[in-house]
Structure 1
Amino acid sequence: MINEYSFEVRGYELDSFNHVNNAVYLNYLESARWKFFRDTKWIDYMKSNELHPVVIETKIRYIKELKVFDKVVIKSKWSYDGNYLIAKQNIYMENTSKKISKATVKMILVSTERIAHDLPNFVKNALDNEVEV
């Protein structure tokens, strides 16, 4: 399952070298994941069951810098491995499709009581069937 998230780099995200601070990329990736949860309505399931997606591992490679007002798109490919929800996320320049960064983010669903839960079958089925968002 693949989804996209577009945005424009804002000035307050820059560091002293006038490019996007490396930590900000993690915020971009998380924003794309939350949009996915909203678009698929999985967020409704999580809210009603008091479950929270918790990132347990992030592997990221920075390829090219981003600067203020760059127009960017994040393409996320979703899968799962057992009870791990996995997002392979690539950041691209919107106008040239040049890859800026790539990351793999592994998550689990955790209850408010901090108990790990299985991925629901409807999530696994959607990912198995690669339904487009």
Structure 2
Amino acid sequence: MSTLIKVYGFHLDVFEHVNNARYLEFLEQARWDWIEQHLDFDWFKRNGLALVVANININYRLPASLGDELLIDCDVAEVGIKSGVLSQKIVRKKDGALISDALITFVLVDINTKKALTLTDQLREKLEYVRQSS
């Protein structure tokens, strides 16, 4: 599944390409789409849990410009005991050029205590299933 984002003027900086901070927003939007497709958001709410970004490593490969249509993919790269890693890529739709790629480390957090938890067996199994079916 890919998220499609069209680049508008408000995404640009003074150099007329997408501002670096906007890529983080694009990646986040794609992660929300990915969560809606693959995970049960209501399960997290019912159990007082949330997936929280702990680290992002992003590479900016090529600039994106006004009018570009960008496809953003999200895949499970790793599933650990206390964290997982998502791999995301942003490509320009018209030519498939890699614009940016990122590795996002996430943890499971108890929303009441704000403390990171061990990934539940149920969540780990679901993430492994999604990873293997990608």
The alignment's TM-score, normalised by the length of structure 2, stands at 0.88
Task: Report the residue type matching 2:80 in the other structure.
Answer: D
For residue 119 of structure 1, what is the aligned residue in structure 2?
A: 119
For residue 31 of structure 2, what is the aligned residue in structure 1?
A: 33
Q: Supply the distance in 1 between the matched residues of 2:127 and 2:109 (Cα, whole angstroms).
A: 19
Structure 1, residues 63-112: CA drift from partner, whole Å, max 9, x if none?
00011121111111113122212111111011211100010000101122
Q: Supply the distance in 2 between the matched residues of 1:121 and 1:11 (Cα, whole angstroms).
A: 44
How many residue pairs align between the two structures? 130
Structure 1, unmatched stretches of 5+, are none
Query: Deviating runs (4+, > 6 A) in structure 1?
Result: none
For residue 107 of structure 2, what is the aligned residue in structure 1?
A: 108
Structure 2, unmatched stretches of 5+, are none
Cα 1:53–1:127, aligned 2, differ >3 Å: closer, same or farther?
closer
* RMSD, aligned α-carbons: 1.5
When structure 1 is superposed on structure 2, of 122-131 and 89-98 the one drifting more is 122-131
User: Higher relative CO (CA 8 A, sep ≥ 6), structure 1 or 2?
Assistant: 1
Q: Supply the distance in 2 between the matched residues of 1:10 and 1:119 (Cα, whole angstroms).
A: 38
For residue 88 of structure 2, what is the aligned residue in structure 1?
A: 89
When structure 1 is superposed on structure 2, of 40-49 and 59-68 the one drifting more is 40-49
The alignment's TM-score, normalised by the length of structure 1, stands at 0.89
Percent sequence identity over aligned pairs: 28
Structure 1, residues 32-83: CA drift from partner, whole Å, max 9, x if none?
1111111123312111112122111110110000111211111111131222
